[in-house]
């Protein structure tokens, strides 16, 4: 409302109040103006805290436990640090966090996402219980063990799907092209979390090894070593290390991987505490690798991924291709509080091999390359307003235009306005995919555009960053 | 990115990690899985808290004071209540909050807003220092006392403009139509905060009193009584009470106002603590007012405004015209913590005159009326992309279309797509306002559209809620 977007000079508080309206009794209103600042001793601070705690515990309008207040207090101390990486974890969260850094979990083995408010299978893992049971990409999970999961968060649904190895979970599935819901029972198993994936790319008579690291968990360094040895035994001429989308993990995992790649006598990373005391983690690799190495990074490469990228550039003199990394330059340590709960607290700053602080800045690749625009689009969905068509405009249309352009159907514009040329692009797409050629994006067409986009994004040949790295590597091999 | 919008069933933590990437040492990683839940006594909880506090204080990667940690802890306890009205205020905030509920402040007396990143005068108060010094609506403040205020928040700028009565602040002004900046010195004065404004509307030979209450502060009830007596001495035939945009204030202010309006023996409001103990605030008015009373509310009418609205409907049997109110049904009390800081804590639930809890729901007027759409538009601004014109689309265009339609220039559509008819509407607007008739919305045209819209919003005849209330009142007078 126009008239509400104003502030009274000198009476700001009224509009602070507008956001937090309040009915006040005025008993205490006149005592305190002009009171001098008081500096409290540590003891007085604790007293003040305990006073606040007991007032809230005894007088707040709703019941509240002391446990809840103390946990809130610990979280509040951490929040005041303004450090997103320093967190308190109660028992339950702590246990889950450990599992997430472990090397396996028990469940069905599928990627899921929340799409249009429904828990949707993105893809079952290869040879997982989910795949064996016949779950397919885009299946929507409507019920778990006969109970509707409407209203559950993705996280809550995932917790229900998970469970002990050998037990069975019944999933009620909605599948495009099927008129009725149907049930699929899935026997849960042990699902390995593969944090290292190896591949060989043959190009121009050369064998290029590709090691993709998806996170740095407990056994990542061991798996990396195994896979690297296997690639070397196959006689690779170069090695690509892909840490795109890798959010980090354990410091010693990246240290151990660094020792396999960075020439000895060079620091892989340095860490520094509040007092400025430094520890250097040195590489002890005997000989420089006889083949070129190139890293791959993007904006989601964080933390341990950044350590590795910087070490490749500064410690190894290698190239890194892709995008500027996330910029997380601190190291956390987990500290037990005795009752199963934990503090994860930032205790150190880490510096790159050459001693640079990348916090908030990230590591700049030696060769900067973005992916094509359609790699960055949000999932396409058709809302309650029905099909997208001529002369309409919305973010979803912009999305669809970017996707269509990406997969080879020129929509004329990519700003969200559905013009005649967009209609022609949609019609052409529909013809090519055996859909009714209406020129309108209904649910079926949207789902197909989405599917074709995902297919296209997953093809190595469309991965501009990877292709740039391969080209650079071939140049280095031929030098 | 498409490939990032996925969750691994059972490995949720990885994506939790994606938002909070972390480098971990693994020293503590394997000890705790399966640890039994521990229930701590109050003493053990305090010990755990003190342990966390000392670890953070001594080991966190940056320096942090105990004072900061304790304040964070208190704020954290309040946050866990999930109650936006329970807040901790340190000394400085507490002082400002008291000022905001006082009856005056020292400054220049002008409404300001942040528009396009610049502090802009919305309007000087009548007969204020700002008006006397020649400040005009839409003046942009570039410097204060010769110092650029670029980068300051509105709040910070306001604090610099404020100051003791008798002192002078020099404002460097940018004004549309002037090529150069110029300076205006303003001598600060005492600016009364008028929380009650009276007006008489003459219609069909009847005098209708209008009392607008902008908040319920210390002297609001006294001012209301004075103005009501004056209106009555003028012989009004009916009374409109406008609490639109009123965020609330002191409970006793609304109680005292209720006693002037609601027939005696009826509760104005009831408050209830956690134990269910109730206090009723009864009206003691001798006689029902001899004229009809109608209230006016909107979505920003909160707290004390809602008490008054509900009391009018339920306690007085009067009509209320406008929109469903905000829905804040708790009462806070301010509790001193001894060092100038305070807890503002929700201690009571309030119930309406008839005993209804409106928290989260608000009070429904007896006659529901919204304002015309253009009353709700955001300020119009032209960004770096330059003038808005044919075939473009954006939120700003939607905004401009809604405004043009509101002030009588039909733009054909109001969805943000600039079509031929929108161009014609812009051209007509430009001709009528002596602007270059380009059919494009450049900065000058945008500013004029905005100005005409504000003018229109401020005219009583366009205030659909007020006009509906007046019509209803005339019917009641003539019954």
Q: What is the ipTM of this complex?
A: 0.74
- Span B261-267, mean pLDDT? 94
Residue A191 touches partner B, C-beta closer than 8 Å: yes
Nearest CB to A393 within list B105, B335, B415 = B415
The answer to whether the beta carbons of residues B474 and B204 sit under 8 Å apart is: yes
Nearest CB to A100 within list B12, B215, B332 = B12
Taking an 8 Å cut-off on Cβ atoms, the answer to whether B33 and A122 are in contact is no
The answer to whether the beta carbons of residues B161 and A7 sit under 8 Å apart is: no
Measured between beta carbons, the chain A residues lying within 8 angstroms of B84 are: 20
Residue A16 is predicted with a pLDDT of: 26
Q: Which of residues 363-422 of A touch B (CB under 8 A)?
A: 371, 375-379, 391, 393, 415-417
Residue A251 touches partner B, C-beta closer than 8 Å: yes
Strand partners, B285: B263
Tokens of A246: 């890798």
Average pLDDT, chain A: 86
Taking an 8 Å cut-off on Cβ atoms, the answer to whether B21 and A302 are in contact is yes
CB within 8 A of A142, min separation 6: which ones?
A118, A148, A149, A172, A173, A174, A181
- Quote the Cα angle for B196-B199-B205, to 5°: 150
The answer to whether the beta carbons of residues B8 and A111 sit under 8 Å apart is: yes
- Among residues B172, B260, B184, B188, the alpha carbon closest in space to that of B222 is found at B260
- Cα gap B106→B103, rounded to integer Å: 11
The answer to whether the beta carbons of residues B247 and A16 sit under 8 Å apart is: no
- Cα gap A436→B186, rounded to integer Å: 70
Measured between beta carbons, the chain A residues lying within 8 angstroms of B42 are: 66
Residue A101 is predicted with a pLDDT of: 58
Measured between beta carbons, the chain A residues lying within 8 angstroms of B155 are: 7, 12
Residue B131 is predicted with a pLDDT of: 83
CATH number listed for the domain at residues B386-457: 1.10.101.10
Positions of A annotated as catalytic residues are 303, 328, 332
- Cα gap B434→A93, rounded to integer Å: 65
Count, residues in chain A: 479
Q: How many helices (H) and strands (E) does chain B have?
A: 13, 22
In tens, the pLDDT along B369-380 reads 999 999 888 777
Scanning A102-173, the segments in alpha helix (DSSP H) are 129-132, 154-161
- Among residues A347, A330, A272, A159, the alpha carbon closest in space to that of B21 is found at A330
Measured between beta carbons, the chain B residues lying within 8 angstroms of A98 are: 29-30, 32-33
pLDDT at A412 over 70: yes
The answer to whether the beta carbons of residues B427 and B441 sit under 8 Å apart is: no
Residue B246 is predicted with a pLDDT of: 86
Taking an 8 Å cut-off on Cβ atoms, the answer to whether B3 and A457 are in contact is yes
Taking an 8 Å cut-off on Cβ atoms, the answer to whether B21 and A247 are in contact is yes
**pLDDT band, very low/low/confident/very high, at A99 (cuts 50, 70, 90):** low
For B403, B409, B449, B456, the CA distances from B406, given in Å and listed in that order, are 5, 7, 10, 8
In tens, the pLDDT along A232-274 reads 999 999 999 999 988 888 999 999 999 999 999 999 999 999 9
Taking an 8 Å cut-off on Cβ atoms, the answer to whether A22 and B342 are in contact is no
Residue B14 touches partner A, C-beta closer than 8 Å: yes
Nearest CB to B340 within list A32, A50, A76 = A32
Of A11 and B108, the structure prediction assigns the larger pLDDT to B108
| Contacts A–B by Cβ distance under 8 A | 511
The answer to whether the beta carbons of residues B164 and B174 sit under 8 Å apart is: no
Residue B268 is predicted with a pLDDT of: 96
pLDDT at A209 over 90: yes
Measured between beta carbons, the chain B residues lying within 8 angstroms of A9 are: 107-112, 130, 158, 161-162
pLDDT at A3 over 70: no
- Span B128-156, mean pLDDT? 85
Q: Among B48-62, B186-200, B422-436, which stretch is predicted with the lowest mean pLDDT?
A: B186-200
Residue A100 is predicted with a pLDDT of: 59
Residue B101 is predicted with a pLDDT of: 58
Residue A328 touches partner B, C-beta closer than 8 Å: yes
The reply to whether A104-192 and A386-457 are identical in fold is no
- Among residues B443, B407, B447, B441, the alpha carbon closest in space to that of B424 is found at B441
Residue B177 is predicted with a pLDDT of: 66
Residue B369: how many other CB atoms lie within 10 Å: 17
In tens, the pLDDT along B281-314 reads 999 999 999 999 999 999 888 899 999 999 999 9
Residue A82 is predicted with a pLDDT of: 87
Q: Among A115-124, B16-25, B397-406, which stretch is predicted with the lowest mean pLDDT?
A: B16-25
Q: Among A78-87, B150-159, B390-399, which stretch is predicted with the lowest mean pLDDT?
A: B150-159
Nearest CB to B60 within list A11, A61, A81 = A81
Strand spans (E) along B129-266: 140-144, 147-148, 168-174, 182-187, 189-192, 196-203, 206-213, 238-242, 249-250
Measured between beta carbons, the chain A residues lying within 8 angstroms of B97 are: 13, 16
* Domain chopping of chain A, boundaries: 104-192, 196-372, 386-457
Return the half-sphere exposure (C-beta side, CA atoms, 13 A cut-off) of residue A76: 26
- Span B377-395, mean pLDDT? 82
**pLDDT band, very low/low/confident/very high, at B61 (cuts 50, 70, 90):** very high
Nearest CA in chain A to B158: A9
User: DSSP letters along B22-38, please?
Assistant: -EE--TTTTS-TTPPP-
Q: How many helices (H) and strands (E) does chain A have?
A: 13, 22
In tens, the pLDDT along A332-377 reads 888 999 888 899 899 999 999 999 999 889 999 999 999 999 988 8
Residue A22 touches partner B, C-beta closer than 8 Å: yes
Residue A197 touches partner B, C-beta closer than 8 Å: no
Residue B26 touches partner A, C-beta closer than 8 Å: yes
Nearest CB to A7 within list B20, B112, B415 = B112
Q: Which of residues 115-154 of A touch B (CB under 8 A)?
A: 122, 130, 154
CB within 8 A of B10, min separation 6: which ones?
A105, A106, A107, A108, A109, A158, A161, A162, A191
- Span A97-125, mean pLDDT? 75
Residue B1 is predicted with a pLDDT of: 32
In tens, the pLDDT along B319-359 reads 999 999 999 999 988 899 988 889 989 999 999 999 999 98
Measured between beta carbons, the chain B residues lying within 8 angstroms of A350 are: 23
pLDDT at B7 over 70: no
Specify the DSSP element, H or E, that contains B272: strand B267-272
In tens, the pLDDT along A114-155 reads 777 788 887 777 778 988 888 887 789 999 999 999 888 777
User: DSSP letters along B251-313, please?
Assistant: HHHHHHHHHHHSBTTSEEEEEE-TT--EEEEE--BSS--SS-EEEEE-TT--THHHHHHHIII
Measured between beta carbons, the chain A residues lying within 8 angstroms of B249 are: 17, 22-24
Nearest CB to B337 within list A48, A101, A350 = A48
- Span A398-412, mean pLDDT? 95
pLDDT at A419 over 90: yes
Residue B182 touches partner A, C-beta closer than 8 Å: no
The answer to whether the beta carbons of residues A40 and A48 sit under 8 Å apart is: yes
Q: Which of B215, B305, B332, B465 is catalytic?
A: B332
Residue A24: how many other CB atoms lie within 10 Å: 26
**pLDDT band, very low/low/confident/very high, at A96 (cuts 50, 70, 90):** low
Residue B276 touches partner A, C-beta closer than 8 Å: no
Nearest-neighbour CA in chain A from B361: distance (Å): 15
Nearest-neighbour CA in chain A from B324: distance (Å): 16
Residue A212 is predicted with a pLDDT of: 95
- Told to judge if B233 belongs to the known catalytic residues of this protein, a careful annotator would answer no
- Cα gap B74→B92, rounded to integer Å: 16
CATH number listed for the domain at residues B104-192: 2.30.42.10
Residue A41 is predicted with a pLDDT of: 87
Tokens of B24: 């971990």
Measured between beta carbons, the chain B residues lying within 8 angstroms of A376 are: 1
Percent share of chain A, pLDDT over 90: 57
Residue B254 touches partner A, C-beta closer than 8 Å: yes
Residue B158 is predicted with a pLDDT of: 82
Q: Which of B303, B353, B396, B447 is catalytic?
A: B303
Residue B103 is predicted with a pLDDT of: 65
Average pLDDT, chain B: 86
- Told to judge if B217 belongs to the known catalytic residues of this protein, a careful annotator would answer no
pLDDT at A5 over 70: no
Of B132 and A61, the structure prediction assigns the larger pLDDT to A61
Residue B167 touches partner A, C-beta closer than 8 Å: no
Residue B360 touches partner A, C-beta closer than 8 Å: no
Measured between beta carbons, the chain B residues lying within 8 angstroms of A105 are: 10-11
- Name the fold adopted by A196-372: 2-enoyl-CoA Hydratase; Chain A, domain 1 (3.90.226)
Q: Judging by beta carbons within 10 Å of its beta carbon (0-12, 13-18, 19+), is residue A234 exposed, middle or buried?
A: exposed
**pLDDT band, very low/low/confident/very high, at B468 (cuts 50, 70, 90):** very high
Q: Among A201-210, A469-478, B34-43, which stretch is predicted with the lowest mean pLDDT?
A: B34-43
Of A440 and A106, the structure prediction assigns the larger pLDDT to A440
Measured between beta carbons, the chain A residues lying within 8 angstroms of B340 are: 32, 35-38
Per the listing, tokens 């599935």 go with A173
In tens, the pLDDT along B189-239 reads 988 878 899 999 999 999 999 999 988 988 899 999 999 999 999 999 999
**pLDDT band, very low/low/confident/very high, at A394 (cuts 50, 70, 90):** confident
Nearest CB to B100 within list A17, A254, A274 = A17
């Amino acid at each position: 409302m126009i008239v509400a977007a104003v502030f009274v000079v000198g009476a700001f508080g009224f509009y602070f109040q507008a956001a937090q309206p309040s009915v006040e009794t005025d008993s205490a209103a006149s005592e305190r103006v002009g009171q001098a600042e008081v500096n409290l001793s540590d003891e007085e601070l604790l007293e003040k805290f305990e006073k606040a705690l007991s007032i809230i515990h005894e007088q707040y309008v709703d019941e509240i436990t002391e446990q809840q207040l103390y946990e809130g207090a610990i979280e509040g101390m951490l929040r005041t640090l303004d450090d997103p990486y320093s967190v308190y974890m109660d028992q339950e969260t702590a246990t889950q966090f450990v599992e997430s850094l472990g090397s396996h979990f028990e469940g069905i083995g599928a990627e899921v996402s929340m799409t249009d408010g429904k828990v949707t299978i993105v893809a079952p893992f290869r040879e997982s219980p989910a795949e064996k049971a016949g779950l397919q990409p885009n299946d929507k999970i409507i019920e778990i063990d006969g109970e509707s999961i409407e209203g559950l968060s993705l996280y809550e649904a995932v917790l229900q799907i998970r469970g002990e190895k050998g037990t069975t979970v019944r999933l009620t599935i909605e599948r495009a092209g099927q008129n009725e819901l149907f049930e699929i029972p899935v026997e849960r198993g042990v699902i390995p979390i593969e944090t290292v994936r190896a591949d060989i790319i043959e190009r121009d008579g050369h064998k290029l090894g590709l090691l993709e690291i998806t996170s740095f968990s407990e056994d990542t360094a061991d798996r990396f070593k195994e896979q690297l040895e296997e690639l070397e035994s196959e006689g690779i001429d170069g090695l690509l290390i892909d840490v795109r989308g890798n959010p980090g993990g354990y410091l010693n995992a990246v240290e151990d991987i660094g020792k396999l790649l960075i020439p000895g006598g060079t620091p892989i990373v340095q860490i520094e505490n509040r007092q400025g005391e430094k520890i250097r983690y040195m590489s002890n690799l005997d000989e420089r690798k006889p083949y070129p190495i190139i890293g791959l990074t993007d904006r989601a490469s964080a933390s341990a991924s950044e350590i590795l990228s910087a070490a490749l550039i500064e410690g190894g003199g290698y190239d890194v291709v892709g995008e500027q990394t996330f910029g997380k330059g601190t190291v956390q340590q987990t500290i037990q509080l005795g009752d199963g709960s934990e503090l994860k607290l930032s205790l150190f700053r880490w510096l790159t091999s050459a001693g640079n602080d990348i916090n908030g800045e990230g590591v700049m690749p030696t060769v900067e390359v973005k992916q094509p625009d359609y790699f960055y689009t949000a999932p396409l969905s058709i809302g309650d307003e029905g099909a997208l068509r001529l002369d309409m405009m919305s973010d979803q249309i912009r999305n669809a235009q970017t996707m269509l352009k990406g997969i080879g159907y020129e929509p004329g514009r990519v700003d969200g306005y559905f013009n005649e040329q967009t209609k022609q692009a949609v019609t052409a797409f529909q013809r090519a995919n055996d859909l009714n050629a209406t020129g309108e994006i209904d649910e079926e067409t949207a789902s197909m555009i989405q599917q074709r986009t995902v297919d296209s994004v997953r093809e190595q040949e469309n991965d501009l960053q990877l292709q740039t790295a391969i080209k650079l590597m071939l140049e280095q091999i031929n030098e």
